[in-house]
Amino acid sequence: MKQVLLTGDRPSGKLHLGHYVGSLLSRVTMQDQYDSYIMVADVQALTDNFENPGLVQKNIYEVASDYLAVGIDPNLATIYIQSQIPEITELTIYFMNLVSLSRLERNPTVKAELTQKGMTESIPVGFLCYPINQAADIAVFLGEIIPAGEDQQPMIEQTNEIVRRFNRIYDVELLKECQAHIGLNGRLPGIDGKNKASKSLGNAIFLSDDTESIRNKVKDMYTDPNHLKVSDKGQVEGNVVFTYLDAFHNDKDELVELKEHYKRGGLGDVPLKALLFNDLEALISPIRDKRATLSHKFIKEVLLDGTSRARTKAQETMRQVRAAMGLNHFT
């Protein structure tokens, strides 16, 4: 039996290069090896978009298109919609008894996101509890391998605490502990250099961006603000162009030389940005082309079929969860 790989994205916008390096690429390369479950997390997207359900609904198709366009194969991976698996919601409720409020408030990812979203005054309970929901997302499919960005590490720890508690309290070995599989480049910054690239911050290069958008975003990319003349010595650290070249430029020896040249002066931002633009256009153009071939009807079929397969698996786990908790009154 293959181990279960599980991961997902909030349909709060189209997917971007941060998703690509953080998690999408590993999903594609690992999909043969594992039983892959890939979730469009619409319930989670609603935790901070509850007043805008249309946005979430529309982006379910965008995110699914991005999955297929980067090479996730619906014959190998089960792609499904979170809200259509009510077993996840049920397990979330049971898990709520296993976590304290102070533990949730200490979760560093939640803390950072509350600040980022300006929710520090009045925290929606649903938002605060989303790590519990995420634990249920993983546990209900017995997920063990979680390809995700660096920011998700605290979520995995919290999931494992809940899983261990559940198994101990109900004296079973049912739920599995999981481990994060963090993409090679950790956390990709946005073009502003201030935050991580994020759908909600408008600072990302999307996998569906056209050539001109990519060109303009690369042009606007944050470099070294003190590198005014070509002859000036430049700083590589914190320079978004170099961070992106680290992630996307294949010729690593050339990159070492470029960094040395930039540091000692004499290399301007313009040729570096041209190089990066070429790398990104070469990466994104086949994804964009594939995306254009995907019909709404096909995507719907993929989602429907994946959701139905996922539900069967979740129902099986929940039968065992209810039995362990003494909730199988009529069976």
Report the interface residues with ligand ATP, using CB under 6 A: 9-10, 12, 18-19, 21-23, 148-149, 151-152, 187-188, 196-200
Beta bridge partners of 145: 5, 179
Please, what is the minimum distance in Å from the beta carbon of residue 180 to ligand ATP? 9
Q: Given the complex with ligand ATP, which of 245 and 324 has the nearer CB atom?
A: 245
d(CA 24, CA 70): 8
* Shortest separation between residue 167's beta carbon and ligand ATP, angstroms: 25
- For the bound state, the minimum distance from the C-beta of residue 22 to ligand ATP, rounded and expressed in Å, comes to 2
Q: Considering the complex, state which of residue 110 and residue 139 has its C-beta at the smaller distance from ligand ATP.
A: 110
Nearer to ligand ATP, 67 or 262 (CB): 67
CA distance 205 to 253: 25
Task: For the CB of residue 177, give the shortest distance to ligand ATP in the complex, in Å.
Answer: 18
Nearer Cβ to ligand ATP (197/245): 197
Q: Helices (DSSP H) in the chain: which residue ranges?
A: 17-19, 25-30, 42-46, 53-70, 86-95, 101-106, 108-116, 125-128, 130-139, 153-169, 211-220, 240-248, 252-264, 269-292, 296-324
Euclidean distance between CA atoms 175 and 185, whole angstroms:
30
CA dihedral 306, 135, 174, 83 (to 10 degrees): -30
Nearer to ligand ATP, 203 or 324 (CB): 203
Task: Judge contact between 192 and 203, C-beta under 8 A.
Answer: yes
Least spacing, CB of residue 66 vs ligand ATP, in Å: 11
Least Å distance, CB 263 to ligand ATP, is 25
The Cα–Cα gap between 15 and 284 comes to: 12
Judged by beta carbon, residue 204 or residue 321, the one nearer ligand ATP is: 204
